[in-house]
């Protein structure tokens, strides 16, 4: 695509195209910049008018307050454990199921796959009361596995990995491995998975981000502050002081920073992954 | 890549006879073993709770006390509950305010980004994904501050050009707009990328032929881009309906003083927040489940209606 340099319709890019795209980019970035401004400004100046437009010097003071108000380090560790396990787990489980649906012959395959696709349209969040009752009867209330185990299922991920495996892996390679005496598991793990690892990586990233940012379910099942994920810690910070916006903003900024840093390194692959997994007519 | 769910032609060949004898059973159950985790997890944490919701809704169900069968009482109370109708109204209002602009903005931006000569293309694409990786909780906190009546940046700017300050969080329409802005901010970039991917799959030759025939940018957009985007537009309409009707976090973080009702007069309490309030603040599991059933019906009807409408309406013939 890049090499042929074809144009959309023979026209050059107009200045207003850049103007509109720059406006969209500004709209995307400004709230985060603003979060940083308020996170570095003490309450008195945060409520100044006109508002401060440059960061203040209070970042470490406020960050210190965040860490002393809620067990913030612990909540970051909790979030890392939950989101990390879900990301890796989804990547492997979805690749495995996607491999079975794409490359294996078994009775009921098409009906089962249709079922997987249909589950994507079920709004399971509104079954939250019985979900809580099930977690409660398992004795998992206020534990991290209450977040991890249900989070491992991802119908979209199975659909997605099946698409990638169908298009990226030829049957000849699998047949060659079979003739060499490999078992089905070995064919998956040694041959198929390495070939779709980039797609599985992006899927794992999306799972990580979604789990890191999840709110309602952790809010319902986590009770004690030392089990909080960062999102619930932010909510606790918002509750803790009546006036102090800087504190909640500081917590929000600290909770978002790890993902922003991650995004600088893997954002390009996430963009490509989302666009490759998309509908194409 | 296509999105068809038809069976793939290819299949892993069966194990050669020598090995088939040795590990026949293992090889037969292997595909089922590979897909089992999903089905077990979905059954335990998705399907069973969903079905159980309909059952719990028939009870006066106290989580620590007993539960008494009350038939359809919860539903008849729901029909007469002004708080429920208020939440339903808020939910539909917020959903419309957030979905329609989001999809329109994404259409325009995808069209602009679909220019091979565009510089900084990767920068624009990556930037648009930044809101998506920002958590809803952080988004809510920063937007509520920016839209604050007294100290918010937006009202300060409005004041500079001589407008009255708008009390976003305390008014009905203001709080709906604020939540819609948050939802739109979070999702428009993601949707843009989905649309862009679809646009890029359209052969350039079609655009070139249209240009030769004298079709300008707008006509190319209406007659080539839009029809080829139909499947992905239907997809995003249905998914944003399912998501938009379940908005929770933005509403919960809107008003610190009365978080569970999204303000003193429930001005932006969504159905999911009402469900949460009934279930986990009032501990009326039966009544909360009835709200869940109502929400389920609403999602199915509106998503189905949207699917029906968006697949039936044909583009203008050109």
Per-residue pLDDT tens over the stretch B162-175:
888 889 989 999 99
The list of chain A residues with pLDDT below 50 reads 1-9, 280-281
**Nearest chain A residue (CA) to B193:** A275
CB–CB of B49 and A252 under 8 A? no
Q: How many CA atoms lie within 13 A of B145 on its CB side?
A: 30
Query: What is the CATH classification number for the domain harbouring B146?
Result: 1.10.3720.10
> Which residues from chain B sit within 8 angstroms of residue A245, using beta carbons?
145, 151
8 A C-beta contact, residue A247 and residue A240: yes
Minimal C-alpha gap between A18 and chain B (Å): 8
What is the structure's pLDDT at A56?
73
Q: Which of B7, B211, B303 sits opposite A10 (nearest CB)?
A: B211
Distance of CA B192 to the CA centre of its chain: 15
Which residues touch B21 (CB under 8 Å, ≥6 apart)? none
How many other β-carbons are positioned within 10 Å of the β-carbon of residue A50?
A: 10
* Total domain count, chain A: 1
What is the structure's pLDDT at A124?
84
Whole-number Å distance between alpha carbons of A148 and A46:
38
What is the structure's pLDDT at A239?
81
> Which residues from chain B sit within 8 angstroms of residue A136, using beta carbons?
63
DSSP secondary structure letter of residue B248? -
**Nearest chain A residue (CA) to B182:** A31
Mean pLDDT, chain B, as a whole number?
88
Tell me the CA distances in angstroms from B36 to A116, A123, B26, B39, one per residue in order.
11, 21, 14, 5
Residue A192 lies in a domain: yes
pTM of the model: 0.90
Confidence of residue B13 (pLDDT cuts 50, 70, 90): low
What is the structure's pLDDT at A20?
96
Q: Indicate which of A3, A130, A214 best probes the interface with B, i.e. most B CBs within 10 Å of its own CB.
A: A130
Q: What is the CA radius of gyration of chain A?
A: 23
Q: What is the CA radius of gyration of chain B?
A: 25
Query: What is the CATH classification number for the domain harbouring A168?
Result: 1.10.3720.10
Higher per-residue pLDDT: A73 or B7: A73
What is the structure's pLDDT at A281?
35
Minimal C-alpha gap between A170 and chain B (Å): 8
The tokens describing B225, both together, are: 């881009």
What is the structure's pLDDT at B282?
93
* Total domain count, chain B: 1
8 A C-beta contact, residue A74 and residue A226: yes
Residue A245 lies in a domain: yes
Name the least confident of A12-16, B135-139, B282-286: A12-16
Confidence of residue B226 (pLDDT cuts 50, 70, 90): confident
What is the structure's pLDDT at B5?
46
Residue A12 lies in a domain: no
Per-residue pLDDT tens over the stretch B71-99:
999 999 999 999 999 999 999 999 999 99
Domain encompassing residue B271: 81-312
pLDDT at B214 over 90: no
What is the structure's pLDDT at A49?
63
Whole-number Å distance between alpha carbons of A226 and A75:
7
Residue B270 lies in a domain: yes
> Which residues from chain B sit within 8 angstroms of residue A34, using beta carbons?
142, 145-146, 153
Per-residue pLDDT tens over the stretch A240-280:
765 567 788 889 999 999 999 999 999 999 999 888 865 54
**Nearest chain B residue (CA) to A248:** B141
Residues 16-55 of A with CB under 8 A from B: 17, 20-21, 24-25, 27-29, 31-32, 34-35, 38, 46-47, 49-51
What is the structure's pLDDT at B148?
86
CB–CB of B123 and A252 under 8 A? no
Domain encompassing residue A64: 24-276
Residue B243 lies in a domain: yes
> Which residues from chain A sit within 8 angstroms of residue B197, using beta carbons?
274-276, 278-280
Confidence of residue B25 (pLDDT cuts 50, 70, 90): confident
pLDDT at B190 over 80: yes
Residue B238 lies in a domain: yes
> Which residues from chain B sit within 8 angstroms of residue A203, using beta carbons?
none
Residue A10 lies in a domain: no
Closest CA to A94 of A152, A149, A148: A152
């Amino acid at each position: 695509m890049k090499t042929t340099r074809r144009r959309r319709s023979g026209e050059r890019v107009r200045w207003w195209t850049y103007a509109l795209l720059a406006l969209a980019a500004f709209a995307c970035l400004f709230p985060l910049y603003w979060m940083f401004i308020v996170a570095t400004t003490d309450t008195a100046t945060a409520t100044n008018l006109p508002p401060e437009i440059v960061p203040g010097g209070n970042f470490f003071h406020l960050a210190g307050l965040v860490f002393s108000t809620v067990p913030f380090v612990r909540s970051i560790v909790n979030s890392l454990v939950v989101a990390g396990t879900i990301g890796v787990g989804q990547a492997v489980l979805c690749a495995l199921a996607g491999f079975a649906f794409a490359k294996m012959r078994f009775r009921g395959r098409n009906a089962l796959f249709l079922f997987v696709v249909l589950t994507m349209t079920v709004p399971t969040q509104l079954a939250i009361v019985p979900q809580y009752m099930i977690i409660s009867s398992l004795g998992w209330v206020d534990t991290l596995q209450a977040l991890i185990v249900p989070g491992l299922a991802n119908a979209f991920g199975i659909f997605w990995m099946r698409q990638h495996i169908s298009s990226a892996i030829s049957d000849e390679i699998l047949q060659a491995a079979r003739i060499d005496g490999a078992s089905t598991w070995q064919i998956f793990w040694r041959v198929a998975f390495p070939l779709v690892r980039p797609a599985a990586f992006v899927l794992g990233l999306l799972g990580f981000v979604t789990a890191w940012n999840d709110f309602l379910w952790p809010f319902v099942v986590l009770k004690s502050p030392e089990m909080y994920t960062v999102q619930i810690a932010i909510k606790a910070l918002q509750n803790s002081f009546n006036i102090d916006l800087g504190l909640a903003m500081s917590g929000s900024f600290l909770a978002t920073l790890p993902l922003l840093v991650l995004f600088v390194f893997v954002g390009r692959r996430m963009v490509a992954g989302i666009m490759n997994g998309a509908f194409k007519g | 890549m296509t999105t068809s769910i038809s069976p793939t032609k290819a299949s892993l060949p069966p194990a050669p006879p020598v090995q088939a004898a040795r590990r026949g059973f293992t090889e037969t159950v292997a595909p089922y073993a590979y897909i089992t985790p999903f089905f077990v997890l979905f059954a335990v944490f998705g399907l069973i709770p969903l079905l159980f919701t309909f059952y719990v809704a028939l009870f006066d169900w106290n989580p620590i006390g007993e539960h008494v069968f009350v038939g359809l009482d919860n539903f008849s109370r729901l029909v007469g509950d002004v708080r429920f109708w208020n939440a339903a109204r808020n939910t539909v209002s917020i959903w419309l305010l957030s979905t329609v602009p989001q999809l329109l903005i994404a259409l325009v931006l995808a069209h602009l980004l679909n220019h091979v000569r565009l510089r900084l293309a990767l920068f624009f694409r990556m930037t648009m994904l930044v809101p998506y990786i920002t958590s809803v909780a952080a988004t809510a906190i920063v937007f509520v501050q920016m839209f604050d009546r007294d100290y918010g940046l937006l009202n300060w700017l409005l004041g500079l050009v001589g407008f009255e300050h708008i009390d976003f969080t305390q008014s009905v329409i203001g709080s709906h707009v604020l939540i819609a802005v948050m939802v739109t901010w979070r999702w428009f970039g993601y949707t843009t990328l989905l649309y862009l991917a679809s646009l890029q799959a359209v052969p350039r030759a079609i655009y070139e032929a249209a240009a030769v025939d004298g079709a300008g940018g707008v006509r190319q957009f209406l007659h080539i881009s839009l029809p080829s985007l139909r499947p992905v537009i239907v997809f995003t309409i249905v998914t944003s309906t399912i998501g938009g009707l379940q908005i929770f976090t933005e509403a919960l973080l809107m008003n610190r003083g009365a978080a569970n009702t999204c303000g003193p007069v429930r001005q932006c309490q969504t159905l999911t927040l009402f469900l949460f309030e009934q279930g986990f603040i009032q501990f009326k599991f039966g009544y909360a489940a009835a709200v869940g059933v109502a929400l389920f019906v609403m999602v199915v009807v509106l998503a189905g209606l949207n699917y029906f409408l968006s697949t039936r309406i044909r583009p203008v013939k050109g």
